[in-house]
Amino acid sequence: MVFGFDQTSYDAVLFVDRNTVIKEMLLTEFEAVLDGVVGEPEFADTSCHAAYIKIDRQLNIVGAVFFIIAFDAKGNADRRWNVPLKQLVETAAFGPKLNGVQVRIASHSQCQIPWHRQDLWEPDLSVETNTLKMLANSIQANRLGLIAEEKSMEEPPLLSETVSDDGSSSSSQQQLSNIDGQLVEREREHSKLLEEHESREQERYKMAQNIKKQRSYIASLKSLHQQEIEAERIQFSKDRELFLVANKKLQEQLEAMENKYCEALLDSEKNAADLTAQQQDNEDRMAKLMDQHGVNHQELREQYRKDFQSKLIEQTSKIESQLEMREVEVYYREEQISRLKGEIAELKTHNERLQSQSVASEITSLVDNGVHFVVSKPGIGPMSIASKDLLSFIDQPNAYMAERLGVKLEAYEAWLEHIKAPMCAGDLRSGSDCSAAIDTVSTPQEFVAGVSDRCAAHQQGGLSVANGN
């Protein structure tokens, strides 16, 4: 029995274009194309006419299903395509005879399952351009390397019933022995070819299974990567909305300050105009009074000018200080807007980096290629880290090691300090550290803070505190 086939037939798929076979493959290879394991770039963006062929051990066609299948721009088969080829050929009606064998045919006009008729095409069975004969000639060429059984064995020559003498009888026996030897030799060659073909089919099947597993694993990684990207995209959208809201508020505040600035500027100009008019009016009135009472007009005018000048300088200084405060506020608002824009650019860059390459995918790829992660800590020795825990170890190495060793984070960090410098941490009466050399505690599970990091003199106090005395 050939691996992957039954005892009486082979399964193959032939692609046809204008009554010519353009590609042949076994059914297992076609199933790999349907699963997306391999693509067919030469069929990109086309709908191909193909035939599923059932072949007996003499390489005669015993059944055929003429179907249509579409390929996308990358040469991958349409994932929605689902035609039960084996069921159609088993339930198909018998058609014409081919090389003395009656062939079952399933086509657009002869389909036992009506809803699959749209996925089938009609072959040309005329005498001039017979599609079945063209397929049969391609199968007989045996480009697929199928093992064909001989139709009949040559009969050995019959021995004459009458033997003239002992010499002729001996010659006939020798001839019979030679024929038996040839038959045995042919049988051995046939068995050897059969075993080789079975071995090739087994290897091809194992390869297809491995490819399917790899494809499933890659699909899971892609799904995980897409989930991470989607989460980052959602977070980015939320951050962008928050930024837009904050930016809108800042723009409104900026517009309000600009309006206040314009109003203050108008008020300043109005006040200056009013002061100028008031000055002119006062000068006119002073001139009239001086003319009436003989007052020194020039002196009064100079005094008034100085008073007016001082008031004008005071008002101008006040307005300028207000304008400077407004300008500082506007500067800080613009700086805050620039910073928010920079944060958005960083978020975009981070999102693009996540889309181009996933850290988890890189770690998994390294593990698949035989890379193992081992960390060595003083007093602990080498410790392997699983790929799924690598990110946790990178983010918080001490917390990860403390959890692996079954101790609290504070105790583990105190033990690390003890391992690095095994000296007493107690205080002398003078207020300085004791710093006496002490024995090293080899494992964090045996380390007790306040006791293990003290000398014999200071351990008594640590034990008293630990016991509540």
Return the amino acid letter for 110. Q
Q: CB 123: neighbour CB atoms within 10 A?
A: 23
Residue 162 has pLDDT above 60, yes or no: no
The answer to whether the beta carbons of residues 405 and 380 sit under 8 Å apart is: yes
Q: Can you give the three-state secondary structure of 91-136, one letter per residue?
A: HCEEEEEECCEEEEEECCCCCCCHHHHHHECCCCECCCCEHHHHHH
DSSP summary character for residue 151: S
The answer to whether the beta carbons of residues 300 and 351 sit under 8 Å apart is: no
Average pLDDT over residues 12-20: 92
Residue 152 has pLDDT above 60, yes or no: no
Q: What is the pLDDT of residue 116?
A: 92
Closest CA to 212 of 80, 37, 31: 37
Residue 366 has pLDDT above 80, yes or no: no
Residues contacting 224, CB < 8 A, separation 6+: 358, 360, 361
Q: What is the pLDDT of residue 5?
A: 35
DSSP-derived 3-state class of residue 451: coil
Residues contacting 382, CB < 8 A, separation 6+: 374, 375, 376
- What gap in Å lies between CA 318 and CA 310, rounded to an integer? 12
Closest CA to 8 of 154, 147, 189: 147
pTM of the model: 0.36
More confident position, 171 or 315:
315
Which tens digit of pLDDT belongs to each residue from 241-265? Answer: 888 998 898 989 988 888 888 888 8
Which tens digit of pLDDT belongs to each residue from 313-357? Answer: 888 888 888 888 888 888 888 888 888 888 888 888 777 666 555
DSSP-derived 3-state class of residue 205: helix
Average pLDDT over residues 296-301: 68
Instruction: State the residue for tokens 């721009």.
Output: 73
